[in-house]
Amino acid sequence: MKTLRLTDIDHAAAILSQGGVLAFPTETVFGLGVDATNPNAVEKLFAAKGRPSDNPLIVHVGSIKHWPLAAAELTPSAAILLKHFSPGPITVIVPKHPSISPAVTAGLDTVGLRIPNHPIAQAILTKANRPIAAPSANRSGRPSGTTWQSVLEDLDGLIDAIFVGQSPGIGLESTVVDCVHEPPTILRPGAISLEMIRSVIPAATAGLTTDSAMTVRSPGTLHPHYQPKAEVCLVTTADEFQSTRESTVYRDHSSDGPKDTLPPEKIAYCGLETIANQESLGAYSHFATAEEYARHLYEFLREADRRGVSKIFCQLVPPSGIGEALNDRLRRAAGRG
Ligand code: TXA
Ligand code: MG
């Protein structure tokens, strides 16, 4: 299949209306969209992503007034959250509209509803005028795509088209909130933090995604996610990076026996703190703020893979604001989801 590169909204919307698979930018990460009412299109999407079928997809609409395309009703907490934070990086779990294909919701009677705050996404969704199921645009398990080039790295030839748009601004997927049960519970942290949600619904809680009850409520969260090919090792400080790195023994099978430490070009580091001798590393980035770190994380992990790095050290951040979501993705990238 040849994947079309598009910059025309009408053409992009027509591809969705005709049952095609289209990658498009949102303010979080690129989405991989299909008509959520078309079972064949949904099947094509699962095949392109290589996604397990027990992991439900988020359904997107172009503006708040379009919510009846995806949901049967808005629960009171969903209405409050959409009023304050939508369009934006939040997904509310609500009772599903009967027209949404069961494959989209993995057989659940609920649906994740999101209105992206991105002009291209809004224009395509509004023009298509139908509910669009869109997981992150990456092969299942890989870091999400935050540039169109990275999306094509995973999916060129597997999808009908990509809208060649600007990189998203947030860089991590939306906050997912269960609004069916009371009190509302965060199933996946994102840019809309627990503090922000509690400012409008004080009883809201943060779910532990490793909790077994939570796994039932948010299926698919235990599958591997956001993982580069290189091993990811988490550190809390730059000093911890230095000491862990020194004790990393490297076996070079091309010569005899165990060798000394991993050569610097096989190591990558990213975090808020700078480190010494960064020039010798295979990949290095330090960020002024957690927001900037979040925006560039997935692209950093992919770049480390492109450079053949074998171990990526990532610094955890203070867990406030987007820090909670960033630490969640770092833990999952390290296989400790
Ligand atoms: O920012 C985002 O949310 C991006 C952009 C493209 O909008 N989309 C995204 O979709 O990250 P995806 O499919 O990669 O993640 C969907 C998440 C999963 O954790 C899934 O378990 C949860 O949402 N989810 C979807 N529908 C659900 C439902 N009915 N009940 C519980 N959890 C649900
Ligand atoms: Mg994803």
Please compute the mean of the pLDDT values over residues 225-243 and round it to a whole number.
Answer: 93
The whole-angstrom separation of Cα 161 and Cα 214 is 35
Token pair recorded at residue 40: 């064949």
DSSP codes, 188-243: E--SS-HHHHHHH-TT-EEPPTTSHHHHHHSTTTTS--S--SSEEEEESSHHHHHH
Q: Is the CB of 59 under 6 A from ligand 1?
A: no
The whole-angstrom separation of Cα 218 and Cα 232 is 25
The whole-angstrom separation of Cα 34 and Cα 45 is 7
Of 91, 104, 124, which is best to mutate to test ligand 1, by the most ligand atoms within 8 angstroms of its C-beta? 91
Tokens 């990189």 correspond to 167
191-194: long-range contacts at Cβ-Cβ below 8 A with a sequence spacing of 24 or more? 191/28, 191/88, 191/89, 191/294, 191/322, 191/325, 192/85, 192/88, 192/89, 192/90, 193/320, 193/321, 193/322, 193/324, 193/325, 194/324
Which residues are within 8 A (CB) of 268 and not within 5 positions of it... i.e. 6 or more apart?
230, 281, 282, 283, 284, 300, 304, 307, 309, 311, 312, 313
10-24, 58-72, 252-266, 314-328, range with the lowest pLDDT: 252-266
Of 136, 151, 154, which is best to mutate to test ligand 1, by the most ligand atoms within 8 angstroms of its C-beta? 136
Ligand 1 atom with the shortest distance to the CA of 110:
29
Q: Is the CB of 173 under 6 A from ligand 1?
A: yes
The whole-angstrom separation of Cα 66 and Cα 125 is 10
CB-CB contact of 259 with 252 (8 Å): yes
Tokens 């199921």 correspond to 133
CB-CB contact of 324 with 190 (8 Å): no
- Report the pLDDT value the prediction gives residue 224, as an integer from 0 to 100: 76
- Report the pLDDT value the prediction gives residue 210, as an integer from 0 to 100: 47
Q: Is the CB of 38 under 6 A from ligand 1?
A: no
- Report the pLDDT value the prediction gives residue 194, as an integer from 0 to 100: 97
Q: Is the CB of 64 under 6 A from ligand 1?
A: no
Which residue type does 124 have? I
- Using CB atoms within 10 Å of the CB of residue 227, give its burial: 0 to 12 exposed, 13 to 18 middle, 19+ buried: middle
For residue 28, pLDDT beyond 80: yes
Q: What is the pLDDT of residues 98-109, one digit of tens each?
A: 999 999 999 999
Q: Is the CB of 26 under 6 A from ligand 1?
A: yes
User: How remote is the CA of residue 283 from the centroid of ligand 1, in Å?
Assistant: 30
Ligand 2 (single-atom ion) residues, CB below 5 Å: 136
For residue 251, pLDDT beyond 70: no
The whole-angstrom separation of Cα 201 and Cα 310 is 44
User: How remote is the CA of residue 206 from the centroid of ligand 2, in Å?
Assistant: 20
59-63, 195-199, 253-257, 324-328, range with the lowest pLDDT: 253-257
Max CA pair span of the chain: 67
Which residues are within 8 A (CB) of 144 and not within 5 positions of it... i.e. 6 or more apart?
29, 30, 136, 137, 138, 173, 226, 298
Q: Is the CB of 135 under 6 A from ligand 1?
A: yes
CB-CB contact of 170 with 85 (8 Å): no
- Report the pLDDT value the prediction gives residue 212, as an integer from 0 to 100: 47
CB-CB contact of 192 with 200 (8 Å): no
Going by pLDDT thresholds of 50, 70 and 90, the confidence category of residue 178 is very high
Q: What is the pLDDT of residues 291-312, one digit of tens each?
A: 999 999 999 999 999 999 999 9
